[in-house]
Amino acid sequence: MTGRIRLRSGDAVAEMSSQGAELLRWEVGGKPLLWTPDAAVWAETAPILFPIVGWTRGGQVRVAGQSYPLGLHGFARHAPFRVARLGEDFVRLVLDATPRTLGLYPFDFRLCVDYRLEGAALSVGLSVVNRGTEPMPYACGLHPGFRWPLGDGSQNGHRIIFDAEEDPHVPEITSAGLFAKTRRSVPLDGRVLDLTPELFAREALCFLDARSRGLRFEAEDGTALRIEAKNFSHIALWAKPPAPFLAIEVWTGHGDPDGFDGDLSAKPSMRLLRPGESACHEARFTFARAGSGRDLGQGLAARRKSDTEGRNRAHLAEKRERAGLSEALSTQANTVETASDGILRPSAGKALIIDGKRVSELVLAETAEKVLSLAASGLRPGLAVVLAGNDPASAVYVRSKGKAAEACGFHSVQHTLPETVSEAEVLKLVEDLNADPLIHGILVQLPLPKGIDSTRVLAAISPAKDVDGFHPVNVGLLGVGEIDKALVPCTPAGSMVLIERAAKALNFEVSGCNAVVLGRSNIVGKPMAQLLLSQNATVTIAHSKTRDLAGVVGRADLLVTAVGRPQMVPGSWIKEGALVIDVGINRIPAEGLTPDGKPKTRLVGDVNFEEAIAYAGAITPVPGGVGPMTIAMLMANTLKAARRIAGLSAKA
């Protein structure tokens, strides 16, 4: 008998079935958001797809020389799940391998499906655990169908806004619903896709290896649905106009146009879990009523801390369950394939890549959500940036800071001064900003024009508003271990966030580890060492004069490089399994010429990345590692400064 489960949160209600763990109903304020199934169009509402294998020749998959009759989208959508946990706004549904599933898919797995309702937001999490003794290939996905029109009106006037620019050339779909080798163009304008019934004349738009972590489904009247996907690879939009629905699917793995007939473990699109490993995938849907006035495109309200960490440790929970131990025991996972919030991704070698861009998005989202919570008290953080001179790189950087400040909801001000500005004029401006009650953070962009003493200018900034963390008072507080009272320089602070989040996901213990900081600058090296000391790491600062530098680096469990020398550290120096944070940003020659005939260049770090991924356990890339974190931490520092100046706790 099929069990129906109901969750409530505020004016929102969601219902799901224990049969297939399928979401059947989701309403906010009495407004139904999911479509009503029609067997003539599509007989399901929001099925769970596991294990996805794509199209295989003859409808069979091969594993270790044996054939199994596993269908395109797996069997989970038709299987009975058991209710493992149930609360007013949360349910965990569990499917374990059975003799029947082993006859289709010969692996001892556990699949947990978590639904959590938080007001207008609904999260769906999938945890996959390999409980067997052999590596387990798998792919999975969610296939929810939403009402179209989402708001009041017709199917016209709707649009999809992706988080990032996507390739407008999508695969053709065959009559059997499979990907063809040919592609067609869709009218994608940057990140915006206007939806019309004609767009789906050939049914599906599949954005393979999507750059976006989410999208916004927006109606003409302002009604919107924000979708955020973590650890999924692809996004598909599917409809059969005039049927009133739009399926927005996120999934991993995809079919081969010619059909796959090799061993399932060798299929390129499959992910492989080693025995005892788990992997987590999550999608979060947030509904905004027409006229709500809040742009969910930033995903600010959606990034609350949830049950993701528990799902990442599902295999340990299962072991505790068997042993009858308290859930309070053994809270750390042995290993994970990918981290919660999607901050780790595979490389071409053994190392996992730490996605600094993703972490920076999370930090910015968390900052913006905290700013939103301050609105009721009348406090709005203010950031003033001073740009003196006409350095092109500085101008680009300042614009990026301004955009980030506005996205976080700050009061943002830019003061642009000419190349001929005097030191006295800059100091007077800093003095005025120190006294301005609407400004909580001051940043003077370096370098300054010739003739201006940057040390004197930075020292003139009020330590309470020194969001770059360069004032001697903040440097001193950090040096004596008073980190909670200091404003920490943004690059080492961002590096520390990457270390903490990656370490948590990888079960890496910073406390007591051998940490080597390669570089001794006041901006990165020295403050980085202080931050690691505050976490009880055993820290060595190395530099160009260090004897046996290769040996020192080779003993590092945790390596941070900040020397500004391209690919100075070869992969062979790195200890097996080390955590590597590459702060260096260096430009080197690349092959070919630019369109205007100039030699091409490319960015590299202080570490030889291509070599290092064969040795490191996890590593930051260049670009896309530490770089994006600098602006994110500038925003976090500005919020911290605003709270302190207002007499509030900096940590809230």
- The residue assigned the tokens 């290939």 is 137
Q: In what order do the strands lie in the sheet with 4-9?
A: 4-9, 12-17, 23-28, 31-32
- The residue assigned the tokens 């092959």 is 591
User: With contact defined as beta carbons under 8 Å apart, do 208 and 171 qualify?
Assistant: yes
Distances (CA, A) of 128 to 55, 228, 249, 275: 22, 19, 18, 12
Percent of the chain with pLDDT over 90: 59
Q: What is the pLDDT of residues 550-559, one digit of tens each?
A: 999 999 999 9
List, in sequence order, every residue forming a beta bridge with 136; answer none if it has no partner: 273
Q: What is the pLDDT of residues 489-506, one digit of tens each?
A: 999 999 999 999 999 888
Residue among 240, 235, 234, 31 at smallest CA distance from 120? 31
Between CA 229 and CA 624 the distance in angstroms is 19
Question: Which amino acid is present at 143?
Answer: H
- The residue assigned the tokens 């940490």 is 515
Residue 296: is its pLDDT beyond 70?
Answer: no
Between CA 562 and CA 566 the distance in angstroms is 10
Q: What is the pLDDT of residue 80?
A: 95
- The residue assigned the tokens 């996120």 is 250
Q: Which residue has the higher pLDDT, 349 or 438?
A: 438
- For 408-425, b where at least 16 C-beta lie within 10 A, e where not — what string? bbbbbbbbebeeebebee
Between CA 350 and CA 114 the distance in angstroms is 30
Q: Which residue has the higher pLDDT, 242 or 532?
A: 532
Q: What is the pLDDT of residues 594-640, one digit of tens each?
A: 888 889 999 999 999 999 999 999 999 999 999 999 999 999 999 99
Q: What is the mean pLDDT of residues 133-156?
A: 89
**DSSP letters along 511-548, please?**
TT-EEEEE---TTTHHHHHHHHHHTT-EEEEE-TT-TT
Between CA 645 and CA 299 the distance in angstroms is 28
Residue 165: is its pLDDT beyond 70?
Answer: yes
